[in-house]
């Protein structure tokens, strides 16, 4: 059995990362464009899917955050060209990760609150639902929807910056920052 290089993320961290990426992309897309679906069953299915994927993001974050704490990320192996940058950007990188993890919890939490503020129950993947603990409140729901959308957009914007930083590390500085999070491809025989 092969061991993972000390400067590489493990398979669990990689899997949780890429599942999160996929879920956030789908949830954000449905949130942004779900109302463009034809009214009725298609729009309702889009909203239900958005809710379920948002809940999945929350579940993955609840698993991922303790995993990250118990399994700290490997240190960046700086190149000569990028050594000074790594020393300067490491605190910014850590802050970015904390904010991203926070948003992975806050965006679904505000989505859940929005569902309740609209007086709707929270569907749990078709196996049950949690009734709204509140009476419907249009003004409160509107405010929650605004915050939910702003936080979701902020999450996507920061994720794009995160991706751009990984690409800069790979292309400009020639270090292993990007490669260590990519899935390992098996060698062709």
Q: What is the mean pLDDT of residues 117-123?
A: 95
Check whether 84 has a pLDDT greater than 60.
yes
11-179 homologous superfamily: Transmembrane di-heme cytochromes, Chain C (1.20.950.20)
Q: What is the mean pLDDT of residues 92-114?
A: 94
Half-sphere exposure in the Cβ direction for 156 (13 Å, CA): 15
Q: Which residues contact 114 (CB under 8 A, 6 or more apart)?
A: 141, 144, 145, 148
Contact 81, 173 (CB under 8 A): yes
Residue with structure tokens 């955050």? Answer: 65
What are 20-71's pLDDT values in tens digits? 999 999 999 999 988 787 788 888 898 999 999 999 999 999 999 999 999 8
What are 144-174's pLDDT values in tens digits? 999 999 999 999 999 999 999 888 878 877 7
CA distance 125 to 92: 37
Contact 99, 158 (CB under 8 A): yes
3-state DSSP assignment of residue 41: helix
Q: What is the pTM of this model?
A: 0.85
Contact 57, 159 (CB under 8 A): no
Which residue would you say has higher pLDDT here, 175 or 48? 48
CA distance 42 to 56: 21
Q: What is the pLDDT of residue 188?
A: 41
Total residues belonging to the chain: 189
Question: What band does 79 get if pLDDT is binned at 50, 70 and 90?
Answer: low
């Amino acid at each position: 059995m092969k061991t993972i290089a000390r400067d590489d993320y493990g398979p669990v961290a990689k899997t949780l990362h890429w599942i999160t990426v996929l879920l956030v992309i789908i949830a954000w897309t449905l949130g942004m464009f779900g109302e463009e679906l034809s009214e009725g069953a298609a729009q309702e299915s889009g909203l239900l899917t958005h809710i379920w994927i948002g809940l999945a993001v929350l579940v993955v974050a609840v698993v991922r955050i303790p995993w990250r704490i118990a399994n700290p990320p490997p240190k960046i192996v700086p190149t000569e060209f990028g050594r000074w940058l790594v020393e300067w950007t490491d605190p910014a990188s850590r802050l970015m990760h904390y904010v991203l993890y926070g948003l992975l919890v806050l965006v679904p939490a505000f989505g859940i609150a929005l569902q309740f503020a609209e007086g709707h129950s929270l569907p749990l993947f078709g196996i049950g639902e949690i009734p709204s603990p509140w009476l419907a409140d249009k003004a409160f729901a509107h405010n929650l929807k605004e915050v939910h959308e702003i936080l979701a957009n902020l999450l996507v914007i920061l994720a794009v910056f995160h991706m751009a930083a990984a690409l800069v590390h790979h292309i400009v500085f020639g270090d292993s920052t990007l490669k260590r999070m990519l899935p390992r491809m098996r060698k062709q025989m």
